[in-house]
A and B are shown apart, each in its own frame.
Chain A
Amino acid sequence: MEEAVLELSGVRKRYDAVLAVEDLDLRLRTGEFLTLLGPSGSGKTTTLMMVAGLQQPDTGTIALNGASVAELPPYRRDIGMVFQNYALFPHMTVRRNVAFPLEMRRLGRAEIARLVDEALQLVKLPDHGDRLPRQLSGGQQQRVALARAMVYRPALLLMDEPLGALDRKLREQLQLEIKRVHRERGISVLYVTHDQEEALTMSDRIAVFNRGRIEQIGTPEELYDTPATRFVAGFIGDTNLLSGRALAVSDGICEVETAAGRIKASVRQQFAAGGPVVVAVRPERLVLTSLQEGGTGLSGSITDVIFLGTARKYVVRLVDGTECVVLRQVSDPPFDLGASAVRLSWVAAHATAFQG
């Protein structure tokens, strides 16, 4: 078995009557960047807090580097944590902030100075050591927080929506910075976000949370191309959802009767024919053709065309009124708005049917 820096098994946490985390199993491989992704209140931050020791699980075990940390208070666990609001100590300079965990570990003065310099270099703030946190911008503060959380090379770095308070451009820039630091230091990261784009950009693997449970764990590609549940399909990336009734399931392909016509989709969950299903298809997997060209598929009309620069987005209204979004490269020949008769089709493997 691969080496796991963090292992959660059967972890459960309840706040009063609300179940925050339910029977959670999770393994974080050494050097891995694992993201907990989900809407707010789905249990991802609670999970992070339990790993940090700031919350106690009701049942289950949490092991860091193979040893249970149940008895260890936060300050004895070998972790670093970056908070959304930075949580820099306002009365200390940047250097003192970064030196703080080293002082707590009783390192020598020269050693501390060397490590602090190195950490500030790593986050590209070597000249800001003597400033106070409030004299820095939000992005700079978060870099200091990052430097402070890893200057002592903890076994695991926890990040709780670290970029949530920053504007989009800065967020994208810092995403790359964090990835770079992760790569250069080879540090294991457990990252929490509700931003699916951020999760896709940064993670080796993503665990999608919903209502206290993990819906699916996998690489960004796996989650995007082969979502295991309807929730994952809807939460990650843009998706067209078509509802209908399952007619027959054979060889992993399901035929579905919808109000707009018959469609096919692949099946990853077991379900009986005859029941209600929802079919998810990515906008870029939809093939748009003129009705005159013949072939099979759902017919409809274009109601909107949006130029996105690298692509065009078409909104197609099917005969039953359902609207679908289709993404086509700008290099593909454009369709006109009002080109009334178009056909939507797709390869069955690119669509997934879920029990409705």
Chain B
Amino acid sequence: MSPIAGKDGMRPWRLLRAALCILVAVYLLSPLVVVVIISFSAAPFLQFPPPGFSLRWYTLLFSTPAWMNSLLVSVELLVPSSILATIMGTAAAYALVRGRVPGAPFVMACLMLPIVVPGMITAAALFGVYRGLGLNGTLTGLVIGHTVLNLPYVVATVASALRVQDARLELAAATLGAPPWATFRRITLPLVLPAVLSSLLVAMILSFDELIVSLFVSSARVRPVAVQMWSNLMGDFDPTIAAIASVCFLFALLVLLADLALRAGRSLRSI
């Protein structure tokens, strides 16, 4: 069989594969598209397709103190919690992968618990602990909770990057006169930096999106966007919810694009 005939023989399969990919993409994206379209609706209800175009829901969103306040709380929450989780998670991953920690697999499993344990249980546990400490309803309590939730993602991402990276580079650095801290800063960290930044961005998105722990731990005064949206949906809701959802979507999209740009920049430099 000639190569050309072979290629022709593959053609139906390639078409099928392309069709399937498009179908999946449409399936995943259509709810988002609908939400974004409704956010520009002129109708006072969630109605699709919308009868006309308007920016009234965005105007309402940005002029309602409750929404603006919750957006601010979300930022105040996601910035420290994602940074804390990234620093602690990177340090933990480094110690567990490179160091000689007794019972390292067990420690690793414990760090992964927030992913495994149902969110409701983690949330209830935090609520119980916080009651004794007076942390319920405080930003500090939310930051600690989100840091715990984000930690496993950082640990997993950075640990796998460290496992791929050649540990002999660190031995080489040591023989060349680099103390452990200099080796980490000059050799290890730069090489796993893409993974560290990636996990920072993922932690930001997760924190922005997190509902269950936030529901338990937040209060009327300290209320992140996700909780505000939840309570809005519980009551009388109008297309403002679509507007705030679009804002959240835009935020996540920007973070993802930043991550992509970061990777592209690295691979460009490596050529």
User: Which residues of A (249-294) have their CB < 8 Å from a CB of B?
Assistant: none
B172 within 8 A of A: yes
Chain A residues contacting B175 (CB-CB under 8 Å) are 52-54, 74-75, 77, 79-81, 149, 158
User: Which residues of B (163-191) have their CB < 8 Å from a CB of A?
Assistant: 166, 168-169, 171-179, 182, 186-187, 190-191
A105 within 8 A of B: yes
Are the CB atoms of B190 and A83 closer together than 8 Å?
no
A1 within 8 A of B: no
A148 within 8 A of B: yes
A41 within 8 A of B: no
- CB proximity of B192 to chain A, nearest CB, Å: 11
Chain A residues contacting B187 (CB-CB under 8 Å) are 89
Interface string of A325-356 (1 = CB under 8 A from B): 00000000000000000000000000000000
Chain B residues contacting A90 (CB-CB under 8 Å) are 169, 191
Chain B residues contacting A31 (CB-CB under 8 Å) are none
A168 within 8 A of B: no
Point out the residue from B166, B171, B186, B191 that lies within 8 Å of A100, measured CB to CB. Answer: B186
Report how far A100 CA is from B172 CA in the complex, Å: 11
Chain A residues contacting B176 (CB-CB under 8 Å) are 75, 80-81, 100-101, 104, 148-149, 152
A87 within 8 A of B: yes
Chain B residues contacting A83 (CB-CB under 8 Å) are 168, 171-172
Are the CB atoms of A101 and B169 closer together than 8 Å?
no
A114 within 8 A of B: no
Chain B residues contacting A91 (CB-CB under 8 Å) are 190-191
Are the CB atoms of B174 and A100 closer together than 8 Å?
no
How many B residues, CB 8 Å from partner? 18
Report how far A81 CA is from B171 CA in the complex, Å: 10
User: Which residues of A (39-85) have their CB < 8 Å from a CB of B?
Assistant: 52-54, 73-77, 79-81, 83, 85
Chain B residues contacting A152 (CB-CB under 8 Å) are 176-177
Report how far A87 CA is from B178 CA in the complex, Å: 14
Are the CB atoms of A73 and B191 closer together than 8 Å?
no
Report how far A91 CA is from B269 CA in the complex, Å: 10
- CB proximity of A151 to chain B, nearest CB, Å: 9
- CB proximity of B83 to chain A, nearest CB, Å: 23
How many A residues, CB 8 Å from partner? 27
Are the CB atoms of B190 and A73 closer together than 8 Å?
no
Point out the residue from A75, A89, A104, A149 that lies within 8 Å of B169, measured CB to CB. Answer: A89
- CB proximity of A73 to chain B, nearest CB, Å: 7
Interface string of A83-109 (1 = CB under 8 A from B): 101010111000000001100110000
Point out the residue from A73, A75, A80, A85 that lies within 8 Å of B168, measured CB to CB. Answer: A85
Q: Is the interface of B mostly helix, strand, loop or mixed?
A: helix
Report how far A101 CA is from B175 CA in the complex, Å: 9
- CB proximity of B98 to chain A, nearest CB, Å: 13
Are the CB atoms of A87 and B177 closer together than 8 Å?
no
Chain B residues contacting A80 (CB-CB under 8 Å) are 175-176
Are the CB atoms of B174 and A54 closer together than 8 Å?
yes
Report how far A105 CA is from B168 CA in the complex, Å: 21
- CB proximity of A107 to chain B, nearest CB, Å: 11
Are the CB atoms of B169 and A87 closer together than 8 Å?
yes
Chain B residues contacting A79 (CB-CB under 8 Å) are 175
| Residue of A81, A87, A148, A152 with most chain B CB atoms under a 10 A cut-off | A87
Are the CB atoms of B191 and A74 closer together than 8 Å?
no
Are the CB atoms of B182 and A104 closer together than 8 Å?
yes
Are the CB atoms of B172 and A75 closer together than 8 Å?
no
- CB proximity of B268 to chain A, nearest CB, Å: 13
Given contacts A89-B187, A91-B191, whether A75 and B171 have CB atoms under 8 Å apart is no
User: Which residues of A (174-223) have their CB < 8 Å from a CB of B?
Assistant: none
Are the CB atoms of A75 and B191 closer together than 8 Å?
no
Closest to B179 in A: A75
Chain A residues contacting B169 (CB-CB under 8 Å) are 87, 89-90
Interface string of B244-259 (1 = CB under 8 A from A): 0000000000000000
Closest to B170 in A: A87
Are the CB atoms of B178 and A75 closer together than 8 Å?
yes
Are the CB atoms of B172 and A105 closer together than 8 Å?
no
Chain B residues contacting A104 (CB-CB under 8 Å) are 176-179, 182
- CB proximity of A82 to chain B, nearest CB, Å: 9
Point out the residue from B171, B186, B190, B191 that lies within 8 Å of A87, measured CB to CB. Answer: B171
Are the CB atoms of B174 and A74 closer together than 8 Å?
yes
Closest to B171 in A: A54
Report how far A52 CA is from B172 CA in the complex, Å: 10
Report how far A253 CA is from B179 CA in the complex, Å: 58
Report how far A104 CA is from B187 CA in the complex, Å: 12
Interface string of B151-162 (1 = CB under 8 A from A): 000000000000
Closest to A90 in B: B191
- CB proximity of A287 to chain B, nearest CB, Å: 50
28 contacts between A and B (CB under 8 A): A53-B174, A54-B174, A73-B174, A74-B174, A75-B174, A75-B175, A76-B177, A77-B175, A81-B176, A83-B171, A83-B172, A87-B166, A87-B169, A89-B169, A89-B172, A89-B187, A91-B190, A91-B191, A100-B176, A100-B178, A100-B186, A104-B178, A104-B179, A105-B177, A134-B270, A148-B176, A149-B176, A152-B177
The 10 closest A-B pairs by CB, nearest first: A87-B172, A101-B176, A81-B175, A104-B177, A74-B174, A87-B168, A104-B178, A75-B174, A75-B177, A91-B190
With A87-B166, A89-B169 already in contact, 14 other A-B pairs whose C-beta atoms are closer than 8 Å = A52-B175, A53-B174, A54-B174, A74-B171, A74-B174, A74-B175, A75-B176, A79-B175, A80-B175, A87-B168, A104-B176, A105-B177, A148-B176, A149-B175
